[in-house]
Structure 1
């Protein structure tokens, strides 16, 4: 196989800007008001590259509906497509705004997918069943309380009220979407705010069930997330679980990344605190095998 020197395409990655017009919390490593400046720097770097899109992996704000205005204005300078999904902090808004967070982030729906070439990107909402995202009176809040109680009784380290989980409807949609991708011979990269693996206090409540679902689909090559600001990485079979570091952390050191997609690997180019690494796509789909053979 002759290795290509240029990627098939590339995209930018930002995790947890978590902006708020409030004083910093050095004890937590949170410098909320610095995020627009860091995001401007990241966008300038992205604009100098040929990218298919830029994804922001949730926690665009720390709290407060009014803070969306400032941080989202930064994206007006971005010359590429912007893909966003909500994190837990994006729902720290007044109750009347809970039902419109996805719309504020210009999402076509709470979960959806799109393709670039033969790569299908799946955008998920891990706050779907949680104690904070569903509007008041929504039955998902009661389901969330039940799920959290079960985890607490089991002593699970991710039994935290700032984590979330998927609804049965989203799981069914994800299963159908992955089946279609598998049938089409596509590579799948999933975006979600919350990690699944390795085991960590920040993981989704239903991480074990979701991992089991993914394990039966060889098309799933990567799960990209934020939420755990220190970052993390693990691999299960041919799926890479990449947790990107939080932009809101540190006073003046930035963190963001660019992913270069090749037939046989994903190259993560880290900027600032983000690490660079190579994610090998060891189990290629049938369509990829044909493309590589050519």
Structure 2
């Protein structure tokens, strides 16, 4: 066999193998916290619009399948939402939002807030190729997201009181948790993914791990469910602006750096999901990571 024919056959083999292992590509943005107000400390609120513009242009060039925005699109609630959403709507491929605690500021009844953010539900799933993406609402049980006197507020109060008694440190006014209903829904999605041999990424606003006072109120309950399903390949969160990383029983827990921080350094990324590994290509302050499954 001639060398040219050998190389041609080798190329064809590798090409066909690659075709069977399609990569899912996702744009990632966390915590822009745009507001029409003056800078405070390291938070440059007005600068987030220019950062969103820059991120959108770059993500469009990357040809991603979709983008996930992990909460706190705005800093002081929906009054500043329109210009921020206008930036995200320039994305050529779908944008999937989740809510953060700042999105609820000055909202009397948070139950319908998801509609303003063009979300199909407060928590939902997205499927692509052999992947299931679960987008949780970790604000469901929070003082800022529930109506006074409601059953949800009472459930939050009991949960928060228990955390205070246990001196957990995450009983903070900016943290929230998920209801039993959402937890049961999540288990249904995980069972479905497992039965169909789909890999799973869980997206949250509040991190689940490590525990540093910014984790979701009932993070241990959520983690207890996740660890039962080896189809979960990573949890990706926002909320903690410096970013973070830890492994919980072999599951990568990635906290993305917040876009709001610094005057001119951006923070966004492109997530590539292959058959055997996760590649996060960070831009600006966002950390790049390569993790094998």
TM-score of the pair, normalised by structure 1: 0.91
Partner of 1:216: 228
Q: Does 1:133 align with 2:145?
A: yes
Of 20, 30, 35 in structure 1, the residue corresponding to residue 35 of structure 2 is 20
Of 89, 107, 111 in structure 2, the residue corresponding to residue 76 of structure 1 is 89
Trace 1:21-100 onto structure 2 (pairs within 5 A).
21-26=36-41, 29-95=42-108, 98-100=110-112
Matches of 2:65 and 2:236 in 1, distance apart? 16
CA contact (8 A) 2:233 2:251 kept: yes
**Secondary structure of 2:83 counterpart:** helix
Trace 1:44-193 onto structure 2 (pairs within 5 A).
44-95=57-108, 98-193=110-205
Greater C-alpha radius of gyration: 2
Matches of 2:34 and 2:150 in 1, distance apart? 28
Structure 1 stretches lacking a partner, 5+ long: 282-294
Q: Does 1:263 align with 2:281?
A: no
Task: State the number of aligned residues.
Answer: 278
**Secondary structure of 2:272 counterpart:** strand
CA contact (8 A) 1:127 1:164 kept: yes
State the shift of 1:4 in Å: 4.7
TM-score of the pair, normalised by structure 2: 0.91
Q: Does 1:236 align with 2:248?
A: yes
Structure 2 stretches lacking a partner, 5+ long: 1-13
Q: Does 1:226 align with 2:238?
A: yes
State the shift of 1:142 in Å: 1.6
Matches of 1:208 and 1:64 in 2, distance apart? 28
For residues 33-73 of structure 1, give each alpha carbon's deviation from its aligned partner in whole angstroms, at most 9, with x where no partner exists. Answer: 11010010000000101211010000011113220011111
For residues 130-187 of structure 1, give each alpha carbon's deviation from its aligned partner in whole angstroms, at most 9, with x where no partner exists. Answer: 1111234321112111111111111112121210111110001001110111111110
List 4+ stretches of structure 1 deviating above 6 A: none
Of 250, 263, 287 in structure 2, the residue corresponding to residue 251 of structure 1 is 263
RMSD (CA atoms): 1.7
**Secondary structure of 1:66 counterpart:** helix
**Secondary structure of 1:12 counterpart:** strand
CA contact (8 A) 2:194 2:231 kept: yes
